[in-house]
Structure 1
Amino acid sequence: MVTGQDVEGLLRRLAPRALGAVVRRFGNFNTAEDAVQEALLAAAEQWPTQGLPDNPLAWLITVSSRRLTDLLRREQARRRREDTVASWRLPDDWCSPPADRPADADDTLILLLMCCHPALSPASQIALTLRAVGGLTTAEIARAFLVPEQTMSRRISRAKQTINNSGIPFRMPLRSEHPQRLDAVLRVLYLIFNEGYASTSGPNLYRADLSAEAIRLTRLLHHMLPDDGETTGLLALMLLTDARRPARTSPDGTLVPMADQDRTLWNAENITEGVRLISAALPCGTTGPYQLQAAIAAVHDEAPSADATDWPQIMALYEVLMQISDNPMVTLNHAVAVAMVRGPHTGLDLVEQLAADGRIGQDHRLFAVRAHLLEMTGDLAAARHAYHAAAQRTTSQPQQRYLYARAAGHEPGGGLPATSPA
């Protein structure tokens, strides 16, 4: 018998594929998503007790279609067009794919590209795709955008309505349409991966299924656009970052910062592939932010130990990245690199300048970096205060435990050794 946790992971992987299949057949994005959500709830209730169906994806699509038929019937009845509803019914073998489409075809990449249609604003493209493809909740997406949940809910609703009203076809975009969508697609995949690698809330540090799905979709995109440097860079970045995941927690689930990780646990195969990808991409064409981040990740991953990390190179790469990316997290990471090269006081000066940036001034990561740099200066009382402030601002339980433990180590008699931030 499968557990509820097993079912939850399976449903998260299958939900975008089910939604893509239903949208392909019915063409009504908003109602299709409602129907799929109902099917997911039914599966979550039934599968742990009744067991998995022989074909879980087909089960979801079938149940979604029935829900969709009911939803459409009610909607059309109100509009006195019941004859139109009848035309939405499909034969018993409707789950069979068209003759020219393989049975195991995956519509997720098409769904991703459709959600990033230029008819939507960039912010709406990303929000809708995170919801439909990434499976993130509205609250999680709101936190990623640093906006209230109600604001994000309205934005997603408007985006779905725009998709419905535009008549956007469910198909793979033409090559000429790629440039209009690629930036949003890459950012969405990046955000999905980040939420999987470092969950913004909840009891777990990471959600491996979410980061794995982001890597899978990025591989598909890279296969479609093998010569695009930023697509290659993003795939390399994901592989190089995810390679460290096996060492990020101790056996009891405690967060382990990079400086303290057992690097023999890092995924050597992912590191080799990531380094190969970024080494091939960097000399070709314009270098973008994902390539630069991948290069930074490669420097970390290729260092045999934390002490052997080439911090001057990382600092230089961040300085190039800052020239093309107005991202406060880049600036914060640059401050850490500066501290490792020029000393913690110099890094702290940069952190204090960044504290005035409303996008990150109250973010737990800024307080955690401040605490770590204060720790390096020997000001343990101020470090303790900053660690407490960081812990109070994160909704990730593993990060809270780690930060409170760091603070407790600087209580009189604590004596926790200095280390890098998580």
Structure 2
Amino acid sequence: MNQAGNQSSENLPAELRANLKSGENGISSGSVINNAPYPTSAWLNGIANSNSMDHNMNIKQTSTSISQSEVLILRGHNAEVFCCSWNPVSSLLATGAADSTARIWAIPNVLPSGSPTAAAAALAASASPIVLKMEESTTTPAGRSNDCTSIEWNAQGIRLATGTYDGVARVWSEAGELVKTLDRHEGPVLALKWSPSGEALLTGSVDKKAILWYPSSGNDTMIYEHHTGPILDLDWRDDQCFATSSTDKSVAICNVGSTKPAMILTGHQDEVNSVRWNPSGSLLATCSDDFTARIWSPDSPKPRQYLSEHTKEVLAVRWSPLSDSSSLLATASHDSTVKLWNPETGVCVSTLTGHADPVYAIAFSPDGSLLASGSFDRRVLIWSVKDGCVVRDFYGQSGVFEIKWNSAGDRIAACFANSACVVLDPRRSP
């Protein structure tokens, strides 16, 4: 890999890599990437210096377009919004940004409908978020940013976890009170996820470690040191098993109770950006900068399917929430496309073309009928999974880092590089 400046190259997850895109997309000069001791990979350095993409293109409104007056724009962060998480049991939305804060927003039941009265009512309902400040811990290195890199509610919706660039994970109450500070990492926390039961929290870091925490029962931890490079992503199979992926080109399957991996999956030829278990936990999907995605069985070190139709780096994988018999796998790529795959045959059943820039964020609706995608072309596209057509689209002010559906499937939150988070209703008729 190339070097950025005079620093050796280490990688950040997709949300933060996208940040390197350049200031023309609303990225602040004080953001994580611009001040990071952990630069991103060489291919993104090329993006930063590229003038080949027209980011001032005029997007015409179509019959499927959602207008600015029909969405709720959450303003308050003063830097890029990297991540978001819907509370699974309420209408609260948590966002994390490069301004060293997270915020908890109360989203109204009714979004703006185009009329000034409705817009004012919706804005007033969410105008006073709870602000969670990422104060420096005693272990924070001098000059290290506290940018919020990851965020997630637990299954009960009573605890919110945040990960920051200073290497600290924090657990907060629903009311925004700091419950626990978890500071045993020695590098930026790039990924975190609660166990399905909501009792255990798993974090992954640039320090090459995954740490398992039990915040409600004290400081009990298990430290997993099986990777030789930064951990980019992680996902739980169930309360007893999880997977981690790394820049070291490998994926590890681990069990709670043993710090020795149950299996190491090798075969990718470059860093592994994303890892996800299917709903039943019978299959594991991975994707890499080697232009491929792979599907694995947890009892075999060899991939079941090798998905190789993308022409550039594959940035994200997501499973549809449907039963295994009708399941699909979606992949998002730097080649500006999203692909849908049959996991049993490995056949690409649909290529979704509509974005003009790399696609960093994808998410299925809870019923699996729709797929939302977000790109640095500033667009959020909502696709019909059945026929591969765009049913709704929204054009924002800057690049999209992350997209999340709420549990009811009637709201989408999209995180933008211009410090805003946009909430839209995908069901509203054009």
TM-score of Structure 1 vs Structure 2, range by shorter chain: under 0.3
Query: RCO (CA 8 Å, sep 6+): is it higher in 1 or 2?
Result: 2
More helix by share: 1
Q: Which structure: larger Rg?
A: 1
Kindly indicate which of the two structures has a greater share of residues assigned to strand. 2
